[in-house]
A = this chain, B = another copy of it.
Amino acid sequence: MTKVFTLSVDMLGSETKLNDILKGLNQSLLRNLNYKFRLYGSERAIKKKIEKYKRLIEVTEIINCDSYIAMEDKPSDILKSKKNSSMSLAINSVTENTADAVLSFGNTGALMSLSLLNIKTLKGIKRPAIASIWPNMKGESVVLDLGANTKLDSRYLIDNSILGASLASILFKIDNPSIGLLNVGKEDNKGKEEIKLASDQLKEISKNLGINYYGYVEGNDISFGRTNVVVTDGFTGNISLKTAEGTAKLFQSHLQDAFRSSIISKMGYFLSSLAMKSVRDRLDPRVHNCGILMGLNSLAVKCHGQSEYRGVSYAADIIYSLLENNMNKKIHDYVSEMHNKLMN
């Protein structure tokens, strides 16, 4: 019998449209037949919109929520006062085993704090990390940490390497994904002490545990696709991610201006608009920007606050694939094996 997976979805507290969420989940359901959903939001609004997705209705339970966590709410306030928010209840469903994973489009800091507090980290992992799937010239890579933990520490970098490699091996279906450590140069003497220490230890672990450590990579190597996994601390990763987002938007805005500059350019744009659309789709954060909270006992995923249905279905597909491949057990085994070997 094929296993059924239940995904709890926090429907409130973001600018993502209700219909985009429902359409996205419905699309993912067509590919992942054993999905079930628990939707935390306004029952009345959801019931009205879900009608046209007949198959989705059958596998969905709606849990009515009046309260939600806003984007500007601070984690400290949330822990005290928003116990019945859609996000809190969606996270609780995972700890209470009524769901296998949680998806939210809302406040990242709140999702992080509430997940850490309730779902807790896997044994052997000290701090969770946010991973994302980043398009590159060869395909895609996993980049982490994108902002869960801003402290630079060799131990966290090694944990992130293990987490990232597990994610890449499942998502990209490769046995031994290559791991690069983000730094300001490729030479051994470059960068900060914590990074050098992590690099030395990763070389050691590569020999003993057979992980595929490539060495240092630089900022441009992320887009070149130099390695399957790029590991950094949450401070550097967050700034790198947002710089890339900003650059992509700048490029798009310049292109639009340029195409508007003459009638011939406008005709050119008209003829090439399909090609342009495919580029936008491949790089659009509303489609691709989902942050996977890794290192927790259950999977929690944060999608872009203005996701389109394609972004929702993409995220739901990823979650299904990770659940089906038993990612957390694999990480747990990897980490225990690593600890055992390093102890001996």
Which residues from chain A sit less than 8 Å from chain B, CB to CB? 74, 135-137, 147, 150, 182, 184, 187, 191-192, 218-224, 232, 234-236, 238-251, 253-255, 258-259, 261-262, 264-265, 267-276, 278-279, 282-283
Contacts and interface: CB of A to CB of B under 8 A. Distances in A.
7 contacts: A219-B238, A220-B245, A224-B249, A244-B244, A258-B272, A261-B275, A271-B271
Nearest to A267: B271
Contacts of A251: 247-248, 251, 279, 283
Contacts of A182: 239
Given A182-B239, A254-B279, A268-B272, 17 more contacts: A136-B250, A147-B184, A150-B192, A219-B240, A219-B243, A220-B246, A221-B246, A239-B240, A247-B248, A254-B283, A259-B272, A264-B274, A265-B271, A265-B272, A267-B271, A268-B268, A269-B272
Contacts of A265: 271-272, 274-275
Contact of A258 (B136, B222, B248, B279): B279
Report the 3 A-B pairs with minimum CB-CB distance, sorted nearest first: A268-B272, A219-B242, A268-B271
Per assembly, the copies of the chain total 2
A135 B192 CA distance: 29
A250 B225 CA distance: 10
A184 B238 contact: yes
Nearest to A190: B150
Contacts of A262: 274-275
A245 B219 CA distance: 8
A298 to B, nearest CB: 25
A187 B275 CA distance: 39
Contacts of A258: 272, 275-276, 278-279
A52 to B, nearest CB: 33
A107 to B, nearest CB: 12
A74 B275 CA distance: 45
A235 B274 CA distance: 39
A250 B267 contact: no
Nearest to A224: B246
Nearest to A218: B242
A242 B180 CA distance: 15
Contacts of A250: 135-137, 223, 283
Contacts of A275: 255, 258-259, 261-262, 265, 268-269
Contact of A191 (B74, B135, B150): B150
A137 B253 CA distance: 8
A243 B262 CA distance: 32
A250 B234 CA distance: 23
Nearest to A261: B275
A184 to B, nearest CB: 4
A258 B261 CA distance: 21
User: Which has the most chain B C-beta neighbours within 10 Å: A221, A250, A265, A273?
Assistant: A250
Contacts of A246: 219-224, 244
A159 to B, nearest CB: 19
A184 B235 contact: yes
Given A247-B244, A254-B282, A283-B251, A219 B191 contact: no
